């Protein structure tokens, strides 16, 4: 039986399952609405998203919105985008960047929440952990993004993390900006078009 998002949301917001391991405590950050048409499957909120309680309200989000070709208003319209990271709470800092998403989170929540989003037509899997879960295989981010055309045919586009600290990734792979980003913008525009078939 499909999960009800209305039932899940209060449970998600109250989750403290791995709080002892979270340096700033549990504060699940996500955007979910059963009308959403595009799923952003990301990694975990950073410190700014944790403080603001809003996903991608930072420099990574600005870069992601530019990739998608959408305004902040559209990005934060829950009837357009669901934003559901692999780990819902800020996991803490590592020597470089943030720690990986907490491993307790996806097994606990991911399948039942995705089952409660009936209208998703395009999934954007961002970064190593979301790619591994959604593509069900282990490979480098570069290898998985290189296969973007096959993914897009199935409604699942693999992407690197849009963090500004990751800019070299794109500079070393000019095909990403030349080929993947135009295809990404076209796919997003098609899904969000008022004339898109249900």
Contacts to ligand SF4 by CB under 6 A: 15-19, 26, 28, 87-89, 102, 104-105, 108
- Using only C-alpha atoms, what is the Rg of the chain? 16
Of residues 22 and 124, the one with the C-beta less far from ligand SF4 = 22
Is-contact 28 15, C-beta < 8 A?
yes
Of residues 30 and 148, the one with the C-beta less far from ligand SF4 = 30
Of residues 27 and 161, the one with the C-beta less far from ligand SF4 = 27
Is-contact 55 30, C-beta < 8 A?
yes
| Rounded least distance, CB 65 to ligand SF4, Å | 25
Name the helix (H) or strand (E) containing 39: strand 38-41
Name the helix (H) or strand (E) containing 2: none
Q: How far is the first Cα of the chain from the last one, in angstroms, to the nearest whole number?
A: 22
Of residues 54 and 65, the one with the C-beta less far from ligand SF4 = 54
| Rounded least distance, CB 77 to ligand SF4, Å | 23
Of residues 61 and 87, the one with the C-beta less far from ligand SF4 = 87
| Rounded least distance, CB 162 to ligand SF4, Å | 21
| Rounded least distance, CB 41 to ligand SF4, Å | 14
| Rounded least distance, CB 112 to ligand SF4, Å | 13
Within 8 A by CB and 6+ apart from 98, the residues are 43, 44, 46, 47, 90, 91, 92
Within 8 A by CB and 6+ apart from 68, the residues are 75, 184, 185, 188
């Amino acid at each position: 039986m499909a999960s009800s998002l209305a039932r899940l949301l209060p449970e998600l917001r109250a989750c403290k399952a791995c709080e002892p391991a979270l340096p700033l405590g549990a504060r699940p950050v996500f955007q979910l609405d059963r009308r959403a048409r595009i799923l952003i499957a990301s990694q975990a909120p950073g410190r700014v998203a944790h403080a603001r309680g809003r996903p991608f309200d930072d420099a990574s989000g600005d870069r992601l919105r530019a990739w998608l070709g959408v305004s902040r208003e559209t990005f934060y319209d829950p009837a357009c985008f669901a934003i559901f990271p692999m780990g819902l709470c800020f996991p803490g800092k590592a020597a470089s960047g943030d720690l990986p998403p907490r491993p307790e989170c996806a097994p606990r929540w991911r399948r039942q929440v995705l089952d409660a989003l009936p209208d998703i037509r395009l999934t954007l899997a961002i970064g190593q952990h979301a790619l591994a879960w959604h593509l069900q295989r282990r490979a480098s981010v570069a290898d998985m993004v290189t296969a973007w055309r096959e993914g897009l045919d199935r409604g699942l586009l693999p992407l690197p993390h849009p963090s500004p600290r990751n800019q070299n990734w794109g500079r070393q792979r000019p095909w990403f900006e030349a080929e993947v980003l135009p295809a990404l913008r076209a796919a997003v525009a098609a899904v969000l078009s008022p004339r898109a078939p249900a």
